[in-house]
A and B are shown apart, each in its own frame.
Chain A
Amino acid sequence: MAEFVMPNLGADMEAGTLVKWHIKSGDAVRRGDVIAEVDTEKGIIDIECFETGVIDQIKIEPGAKIPVGTVMAVIRGAEEAPAPAKPVAAPEPAAPTKAPHVHASPLAKKIAAELGVDLTKLTGSGPGGLIDREDVEHAAAPKKAPTPVEAVRVKVSPLARRLAAERGINLASISPGPSGIIEQADIERAAAPSKPEPAPAAKSGDGMRRAIAAAMAKSNREIPHYYLQTRIDMSAALKWLEAENAKRSIKDRLLPAVLLLKAVAKALGDVPALNGFWIDNEHRVSPAIHLGFAISMKGGGLVAPAIHNVGEMSCDEIMAALRDLIPRARAGRLRSSEMTDSTLTVTSLGDLGVESVFGVIYPPQVALVGFGKIIEQPWAKDGMLGVHPIMTASLAADHRATDGHTGAQFLDVLNQHFQTPEAL
């Protein structure tokens, strides 16, 4: 049996509210399937399942706000099916042919034989009492799950019951703490968000701000940042982009952001020390490169969902990913893996006109790359003065994990990649 717990989706998340289940007890699930929607301060996140198997037991009802780590459902492996309808193949002394005639469809008989269902025990729902395939499959379905989701009497302390009544809290929406009995602490926890239907738009203003505040405060408190910047001549890159886009239809055109992401991913391949995490006093370099792309929200606020394996994606694939991700992020419909998997964050404020960005690293990552606006500036090249499109790239890095030397190497390599855009 595997437990499906309320995941920690980052930003110092302590609790989440289950909005709805996409599955019910008895459903088969595969790793990666979205099985629930959870409301966090940053909006509603689709939660993916990590196991392949069958939902055995649902422990939390929609509407409940539960702490990170609470078991929400139990998944049993596909082989663990405790279906009683797979009885020991009783080799009846009487040969099957001696059994009384059963009014069942041929397909039903075949399936019954496969699943070991005793047709003589079934009542048919087909015409004339015919036992059809559904009757057999229904009989074979494991009704007797080890612990079916039946109504279990929930114990509540007298104080908790009184408090819930006073505050108009429905006890069915409260889940007990470790004692298994609903107590005052559980009511206090639930009383915080008393809105019955949390609207994501309404949340993003306040809750998201608080979540960002907590994360950024933690980052500044714990991470010793160092900052480096470099100016990059984007002439080659922009020229290449223009040529590529000329070959594409309007809707397939690549945004400069694609180049930024690809260049960063490549540079991280050269200088991997900046790609990873600082956890438990240890620098853990990540083998995979998942770049978090900072997206600003309409009502204020920021999310930086991950694009997975950017290094292996083509420019068109990255563009498609951005086209999918940005509207979903703005609508508050991100997946849990997008919230937690970033190995480095990229933020581009070029549209807003700032020259350079000195960001705050999003823990537990160890670096943040910022890009400013591309500005036409005087530039010396090969001894000649000209006007070039210059972009300032900045790096904020965790000095516990890397030193200025590494950061400088990264920016240098990044610059070089922008000079050979066709190789990206």
Chain B
Amino acid sequence: MTFRDAVREGIRDAMRKDVRVFLMGEDVGHYGGCFAVSKGLLAEFGPERIRDTPLMESAFVGAGIGAALGGMKPIVEIMTCNFSLLALDQIMNTAATLLHMSGGQFNVPLVIRMATGGGKQLAAQHSHSLEGWYAHIPGIKVLTPATLEDGYGMLTSALNDPDPVLIFENQTLYNMEGEALVSPGAVDIAKARVRREGKDVCVLTHGASLHKSLEAAAVLEKEGIGAEVVDLRVLRPLDDATIMASVAKTHRVLIVDEGWRSGGISAEISARIMEQAFYELDKPVARVCSAEVPMPYAKHLETAALPQVESIVAAIKQLVLGHG
């Protein structure tokens, strides 16, 4: 089973259990989804519940908000987070704020799924990682599944949530193979998870960077460095408890995030560690993020701009040994 299959099964499960759930977005129906996530679903559920939308993000996200307000449980698929910028006003100023502005009268139980990340030579406008940016907004939840179980189960949990939930799926993960799952059901969407235990350094990360971090940890284990790798899973709200426990255990922290470091989620986590676990730190918090440039098109430049196993290994060595 691939990550893609897991997400599809998640949608399928949710749609079978609850008639109010429907999927809408560009090319989700006849084309089967830009990333083939919804392949076969049109045949199973019909055009009323698998709806191809016009190429107009602001409109169909707005329609999704309306459907949610009207009692439905829409899953809005924005092809990639890059295009979500066209619907930012809907997301930030309507979906996220209606509950507050209505004095608690109107929940917006909307789920928006977006592909995120770079690495496929889609260049500057189509390679953003904006999940950290969206985590800035009060009123929504931001999820970053990186495992099959989370790809499958987070959707159900999100649909059960009365407020808007944004799910960011890193596009390089769709082909990732894993053990076949059978209806894991709803998974927790409030906690981070320690994916690998270690005592020398803790690596806080999410999405595709999780797997690069795990690979780096395997490399470092051979050199006697034990890296603890924490999958953040939820960027808003951040699981402070799990983060600080790991910091207190290891005293050295590396944050790996595909977003840019300036004002990114890595900066937020670093600030929280300063506030809550300052006296546990033996070294300043380190970060590996994308280079502060629009994402290059040329393959070698794009590779150099993104976090990689080598740069994670080097950063950890610098932290633990004092040299790269």
Contact = CB atoms under 8 A, between A and B. Distances in A.
B322 A162 contact: no
Interface string A318-333: 0000000000000000
B281 A159 contact: yes
Q: Which of A158, A161, A162, A184 has the most chain B CB atoms inside 10 A of its CB?
A: A158
B251 A178 contact: no
A160 B280 CA distance: 9
The DSSP consensus for interface residues of chain A is helix
A183 B322 CA distance: 11
A309 interface: no
Interface residues of A, number: 11
A159 B322 contact: no
Interface in B265-283: 278-283
Given A159-B251, A178-B322, A183 B279 contact: no
Contacts of A179: 322
A245 interface: no
Q: Interface size class for chain B? A: under 10
Contacts of B283: 157, 183
B281 A157 contact: yes
Nearest to B284: A157
B322 A158 contact: no
Q: Which of B278, B279, B281, B282 has the most chain A CB atoms inside 10 A of its CB?
A: B282
A420 to B, nearest CB: 61
Contacts of A184: 251, 282
Contacts of B282: 157-160, 183-184
Interface string B307-324: 000000000000000100
Interface string A161-186: 11000000000000001110001100
Interface in A315-353: none
A180 to B, nearest CB: 10
Nearest to B278: A158
Interface in B72-115: none
Contacts of B278: 158
A179 B283 CA distance: 10
Interface in A177-202: 177-179, 183-184
Interface of A: 157-162, 177-179, 183-184
Given A157-B281, A158-B282, A177-B322, 10 more contacts: A157-B283, A158-B279, A159-B251, A159-B280, A159-B281, A159-B282, A160-B282, A161-B279, A162-B279, A183-B283
23 contacts: A157-B281, A157-B282, A157-B283, A158-B278, A158-B279, A158-B280, A158-B281, A158-B282, A159-B251, A159-B279, A159-B280, A159-B281, A159-B282, A160-B282, A161-B279, A162-B279, A177-B322, A178-B322, A179-B322, A183-B282, A183-B283, A184-B251, A184-B282
Interface of B: 251, 278-283, 322
